[in-house]
A and B are shown apart, each in its own frame.
Chain A
C-alpha cells in the first residue's frame, strides 16, 4: 500500500530546511488546516450534487440538468447565490449567540472530519483516544443547534431546536454503544490501529453476528444523529417551516446546510472505518494473490468507495421511508435500540472472551 507519510515527511523536511523547526510546525498547521477545510467544502459540494441526483433517481426524475453538463455546475451556482445573499439580523434576539451558533455547529463537524483516516498516513488527528475524541467533538454540535433555535426569537425554531437536542443526545448513546462494541472486538481506540487490525478481515466479518447488529444500529442512530429523514423532525417542513434554521439566511444558513451534509459524510465514513475496514482493501486471509491484486487499488479509492456506498444507502433511507412521529423517535431509541445495543455489547464481550471471533 502507498503510504502518505512519505509525502508529508518530504514536505516536513523541505520546510525544516528553510526555516526553524517551530515556524515549520506553524506553517504545517496552517497548511493542514487549509487542506482540511478545502476537502471539507469539496466533499460537501459533491454530497449536495449526489443528494439531488439520488433523490431524482428515486422519484423517477432527472434532477438538475440545465447548469453545465448533467447539471454539474448547479451546486456551484447555488453556493455563489448563497454567498451574495444578505445576512439578516433578527429583532429582539441575542445577536451574539445568533451569529455564534452556526460556527459552533461547523466547528464540531470539522473537528470530527479531521479524525477520519482517508488513506494510509492521510489523517490529521490520530492519537490513542481516537474514537473517544471523535465522540467528544461530535457531541457539542447539538449546542450550536440549541443556541440557534433559542436566539432566533421564533417559536418554530425553538421547538425544532428542542426536538433536535432531545433526539441527538439520545441517539448519541446508541452510537457510543456501537463504537464500544467495535472497541471491545479490537482492544484499541486509536483509529489508525483500528484500520490496521482489519488487514486480514474487516470487523463486520471478524465480529460476525454482533458486529453486523452493531452496524445496523449504527446506521439507524447515525441517520437520526444527522437530523435527516426519517428522523428530520427538527426541521419538519410541514410542521415547523424549517426548524431551528428558519430565521437564518445567506452563508449562516449555508453553514448549517453544509454541516448537515458533512455530518452525513462523517457518519458514513466512521461506519466504513469501524465496520468495513476504512482504507483497508478487501483481504481474505490465505488468498495471497487475490489480496495482492486488491492492494493495487489505492486506499483512498477504497475509503471513498465504501463511504459513498453507505451514503447512498442512507440517502435511499431518506427518500423511501416516511417521517416518524415525534413520540416514536424516543420510543425507538430508548425502548429498542439502547436495550438491543447493550445486549449486543454483552454478546460481543462473551464472543471476545471465549475467542469466538475470526
Chain B
C-alpha cells in the first residue's frame, strides 16, 4: 500500500515536471519559460523530499528556485523588456534541437537501465548534518574538501570579475 502511495506521488510530480519542461521549451515568452523552469525545479525538489533526501531538496530550492531563477529573472529584466519573443529561426536549428534532446533521452535511459541502484530511498531520518559537514570538509578518502575549495575560489574569481566590470573608471 505504501508502495502505491509513493508511486502516485512520483507520477504526479514527474507529470508536472514533464508538462512544465515542455511548456518551458515551447513557450515563446522568455519570462514565462523561466517560470515554467521554476516549476520543474520545484518538482525536482519534491522528488528529493519524497526520497527523504531533505538536504538536497532544501539545497535545490535555495540554489535553484531562490538563486538561479531569481538571477535569470534579474538578467532578463536588465537586458530587455522581459518580453523577448523567441522564434525558431531555421528548420535546421529546430531539427538539431530535437536530435540533441532525443540523444540526451537515449543516454539517460541507457544509464538508468544499466545501473544497479543500491537503495530506492534513504533512511527517513535523513543524513545527519554532522555526516554531511564532515564529508564536505573532510580530507579522507571520498571526502570533498578539495572540490569545495576549488569551487570557492571559482566563485570568488567570478565575484571579483563582476566587481571589476561593474566598477566606475
**Is A128 a contact of B54 with CB atoms below 8 Å?**
yes
Flag the segment in B58-66, B90-98, B140-148, B150-158 that touches A. B58-66
Set of chain B residues within 8 Å of A139, measured between Cβ atoms? 61-62, 65-67
When C-beta atoms are compared, the residue in chain A nearest to B39 turns out to be A100
Q: Does any Cβ of A come within 8 Å of B21's Cβ?
A: no
When C-beta atoms are compared, the residue in chain B nearest to A183 turns out to be B129
A-B contact count (CB 8 A): 86
Closest Cβ–Cβ distance, residue B6 to chain A (whole Å): 10
Q: Does any Cβ of B come within 8 Å of A21's Cβ?
A: yes
Per-residue CB contact flags for chain A residues 1-40 toward chain B (1 = under 8 Å, else 0) read 0000000000000000000111001000000000000000
When C-beta atoms are compared, the residue in chain B nearest to A100 turns out to be B35
Of A94, A136, A146, most B-chain CB atoms within 10 Å: A136
Cα A129 to Cα B67 in complex, Å, equals 19
Set of chain A residues within 8 Å of B61, measured between Cβ atoms? 133, 136-137, 139-140
Size bin of chain B's contact surface: 20 to 34
Of A100, A137, A146, most B-chain CB atoms within 10 Å: A146
Set of chain B residues within 8 Å of A324, measured between Cβ atoms? none
**Is B32 a contact of A96 with CB atoms below 8 Å?**
yes
**Is B54 a contact of A165 with CB atoms below 8 Å?**
no
**Is A143 a contact of B58 with CB atoms below 8 Å?**
no
**Is B74 a contact of A146 with CB atoms below 8 Å?**
yes
Set of chain A residues within 8 Å of B66, measured between Cβ atoms? 136, 139-140, 142-143
Closest Cβ–Cβ distance, residue A130 to chain B (whole Å): 9
Contact residues of A: prevailing secondary structure = helix
Q: Does any Cβ of A come within 8 Å of B166's Cβ?
A: no
**Is A94 a contact of B31 with CB atoms below 8 Å?**
yes
Q: Does any Cβ of A come within 8 Å of B77's Cβ?
A: yes
Set of chain B residues within 8 Å of A188, measured between Cβ atoms? 129
**Is B32 a contact of A94 with CB atoms below 8 Å?**
yes
Cα A188 to Cα B133 in complex, Å, equals 11
**Is B74 a contact of A165 with CB atoms below 8 Å?**
yes
When C-beta atoms are compared, the residue in chain A nearest to B66 turns out to be A139
Interface positions, chain A 121-180, Cβ under 8 Å from B, are 127-129, 132-133, 135-137, 139-140, 142-143, 146-147, 150-151, 158, 162, 165, 169
Cα A96 to Cα B29 in complex, Å, equals 12
Q: Does any Cβ of A come within 8 Å of B38's Cβ?
A: yes
Set of chain B residues within 8 Å of A137, measured between Cβ atoms? 61
Q: Does any Cβ of A come within 8 Å of B128's Cβ?
A: yes
Closest Cβ–Cβ distance, residue A329 to chain B (whole Å): 17
Q: Does any Cβ of B come within 8 Å of A191's Cβ?
A: no
Q: Does any Cβ of B come within 8 Å of A189's Cβ?
A: yes
Interface positions, chain B 110-134, Cβ under 8 Å from A, are 125-129
**Is A132 a contact of B1 with CB atoms below 8 Å?**
no
**Is A135 a contact of B62 with CB atoms below 8 Å?**
yes
When C-beta atoms are compared, the residue in chain B nearest to A162 turns out to be B77
Of B5, B29, B38, B73, most A-chain CB atoms within 10 Å: B73
| Chain A residues proximal to chain B, CB less than 8 Å | 20-22, 25, 94, 96-97, 100, 127-129, 132-133, 135-137, 139-140, 142-143, 146-147, 150-151, 158, 162, 165, 169, 188-189
Sorted nearest first, the 4 A-B pairs with minimum C-beta distance are A139-B66, A136-B61, A136-B62, A136-B58
**23 A-B residue contacts at CB 8 Å?**
A21-B2, A22-B4, A94-B29, A94-B83, A96-B32, A97-B31, A97-B35, A100-B35, A127-B54, A127-B126, A128-B54, A132-B59, A132-B62, A133-B54, A136-B62, A137-B61, A140-B38, A142-B70, A143-B38, A143-B69, A146-B70, A162-B77, A165-B73
